Amino acid sequence: MKGFPGFPDGKMRLTQVPNLFFSDLLPIIDNMAELKVTIYAFWALAQREGQVRYLRLADFLNDTEFVKGLGPTLKLAAEALLDGLERAVARGTFLHVNVESADGKMDLYFLNTEKGRTAVTGITRGEWRPNPDEDAPITLLVERPNIFVLYEQNIGPLTPIIAEELRDAEQTYPPRWVEEAIELAVENNVRKWRYILTILERWRQEGKLDGTGRRDTQKELRKQIPDEYRDIIKR
């Protein structure tokens, strides 16, 4: 067994790991390879920059010191790595997506966080493009903002009741609808959640014009204003 000399004195770089990992995830991981790839991902993703962070299969394989710790031979270590990744995906720790790049198919792994889920959704919808940069082989074309941030930036402070209603809206309406309803509320200077919800419900019941958003004319947008708010909106 190879020994460890201990941590040195002085300031050391640290890696943030969510408390939820220790309370909920660590107790149920029963495979050493899965545990190692999970912890490694926290460290490796922290070295990345940008709003959307992910790891390629090649990123794991290219770290020879890490891979050597997964098995006595390179073949067994690579097999253990793939098994650990599959287990982490099956457990829900990682999100896995396969994309076509300039160099062929590529496996990408995201942490199962809100940003990771948004990124994978964008990729599956085709909202990305390949990059020639080996360190950042894809770029997401659309990164949708967190609905809570969107609300606070455009409407007002977030309360527990509003937060719960926003969660319900995320489950009920397409994400783009919520964004466009908030945009419409801002344009008409009616910064109220009830107004936004009324717009969403009308779209759900009566149908929504395709392409609603910035491409629509102001006149077309005003046609979708709920009747109860027409009198208070400045023309």
Other beta carbons within 10 Å of 119: 26
Determine the residue type at 112: N
pLDDT number for residue 139: 58
The Cα–Cα gap between 71 and 103 comes to 29
Closest C-alpha among 142, 113, 101, 126 to residue 54: 113
Helix axes 160-172, 193-206, angle to 10 degrees: 20
User: For domain 147-232, which architecture applies?
Assistant: Orthogonal Bundle (1.10)
Domains 19-140 and 147-232 share a fold: yes
Q: Is this prediction's pTM over 0.85?
A: no
The domain spans of the chain are 19-140, 147-232
User: For domain 19-140, which architecture applies?
Assistant: Orthogonal Bundle (1.10)
Residue with tokens 């107004």: 195
The mean pLDDT value of the chain amounts to 82
Closest C-alpha among 186, 174, 180, 118 to residue 146: 118
Q: pLDDT digits over 149-187, tens only?
A: 888 889 988 888 888 898 889 888 888 888 889 999 999
The Cα–Cα gap between 73 and 146 comes to 44
- pLDDT of residue 224 exceeding 50: no
Q: pLDDT digits over 185-217, tens only?
A: 999 999 999 999 999 999 988 887 644 433 343
